[in-house]
Amino acid sequence: MTKRRQWPIALTIAGSDSGGGAGVQADLKTFAALGVHGTSAIACLTAQNPRRVLDVAPCSPKMLRQQIEAVFAELPPAAVKTGMLFSVGNIRVVVSFFQNWKWDKGNRKLVVDPVMVSTSGARLLQPAAEKVLKEKLLPLAALVTPNLDEAEILAQQKIRSPEQMRVAAREIHSNFGCAVLLKGGHLNNSLMAIDIFFDGKTELLLSAPFVKGVSTHGTGCTYSAAICAALALGHDLPAAVEVGKNSITEAILASYKIGGCYALGRILTGPNKIRRR
């Protein structure tokens, strides 16, 4: 009889992207590429394509909670990520669930992609929900992964250089108590795609050359999903962040054309190249 490998499980709580390039669709594709079984709880529906978001309809808080409970009842995840939650009600559902969830040996493996502002500048979080996210959800997280616009909101300061990224990452860690991966992929006048990780002890500067001529969609979702998958595979947080950086770099390099846009390509790292810890 063939002995089948036990796959670890990860959960994404996020929005659905009708264009297939971001949100839950990107998360599940990333989980599978890295050898993790993906489960999902849909927080909102979006009408979007790679160029713009046309509309957003949040899931009811009751239905969101039932999705999360259904997953944990039979498929308890080793790691969880949140993406676009959008509404106050849905953030409160996530907060309530994880405040009461007993993590294995106290090891929190919750990655929060705040999804407050898209890279195109569109607001993706209701204004009233921002306060709940900052005061209630971020203190529960192991890691928050803001882009530059989101980091400026969380740190309440402008970010125009790598050094200012370092300062902002420390400010966010101090304010909310979680580790920070500040993504600087859209930093002006930078020759490299630079990200800063800081957890209160360890600081990492993660960099990769810009890929010219490609305008990608869903990079933040894919990056945070890869980190979540690495955590589910047993990596510690600094190592998981490095897996995430390598994965998103590979996905951008392998981008392919769809219509008049680009989609992130195959992650070549794969489960066979990531050792479990």
The pLDDT of residue 276 is 45
How crowded is residue 242: how many other Cβ atoms within 10 Å of its Cβ?
Answer: 16
Under the banding of pLDDT at 50, 70 and 90, the label for residue 242 is very high
Residue of 219, 222, 249, 269 marked catalytic: 219
Which CATH code for domain 9-267? 3.40.1190.20
Name the token pair of 23.
Answer: 């949100």
CA dihedral 8, 14, 17, 21 (to 10 degrees): -50
pLDDT of 265 reads 87
Q: What's the pLDDT at 7? A: 94
Instruction: Give the chain's mean pLDDT.
Output: 90
Catalytic hit among 23, 221, 222, 244: 221
74: pLDDT confidence band, cut at 50, 70 and 90? very high
Structure tokens at 125: 């979080």
Q: Are 262 and 269 within 8 A, CB to CB?
A: no
Task: Give the integer Cα–Cα distance in Å for 148 and 155.
Answer: 10
* Residues 253, 14: Cα–Cα separation, whole Å: 25
- How do residues 199-224 score in pLDDT, each as one tens digit? 999 999 999 988 877 778 889 999 99
C-alpha distances (whole Å) from 251 to each of 57, 85, 123, 211 are: 29, 25, 25, 11
Catalytic status, residue 178: no
Contacts of 226 (CB under 8 A, 6+ apart): 30, 34, 243, 244, 247, 248, 267
Residue 191 has a pLDDT of: 78
Lowest-confidence segment of 4-13, 97-106, 186-195 by average pLDDT: 97-106
Query: Catalytic: which of 12, 82, 145, 216?
Result: 216
Average pLDDT, stretch 23-44? Answer: 97
Rounded (10°) angle between helices 237-253 and 219-232: 140
pLDDT band at 272 (very low <50, low <70, confident <90, very high): low
Which entry of 183, 184, 222, 228 is annotated as an active-site residue?
A: 183
**pTM across the whole model:** 0.93
Report the Cα 208 to chain-centroid distance in Å: 19
Residue 114: per-residue pLDDT? 94
User: What three-state secondary structure class fits 158?
Assistant: coil
Could you say which of 19, 20, 218, 244 is catalytic? 218
- The more confident residue out of 164 and 185 is 164
User: What pLDDT is stored for residue 156 in this prediction?
Assistant: 94
What average pLDDT does the segment 35-49 reach?
95
SS3 214: coil
Q: 220 catalytic, yes or no?
A: yes
Q: Which of 39, 117, 118, 45 is nearest to 80 (CA)?
A: 39
Rounded Cα–Cα distance for residues 269 and 38 (Å): 17
Burial-class residue 234 by CB neighbours within 10 Å (0-12, 13-18, 19+): middle
46 has catalytic annotation: no
What share of the chain in percent tops pLDDT 90?
Answer: 67
pLDDT band at 1 (very low <50, low <70, confident <90, very high): low
State the pLDDT at residue 105.
53
Average pLDDT in the 30-37 region?
96
From 21, 23, 220, 244, the catalytic residue: 220
Q: Is 30 a catalytic residue?
A: no
Give the per-residue pLDDT at 2: 72
State the residue for tokens 């590429």.
Answer: 33
Exposure string for 121-155, b = 16+ CB within 10 A, e = fewer: eeebbbeebbebbbebbbebbbbbbbbbbbbbbbb
Would you list the domain boundaries of the chain?
9-267
Q: Binning pLDDT at 50, 70 and 90, where does residue 88 land? A: very high
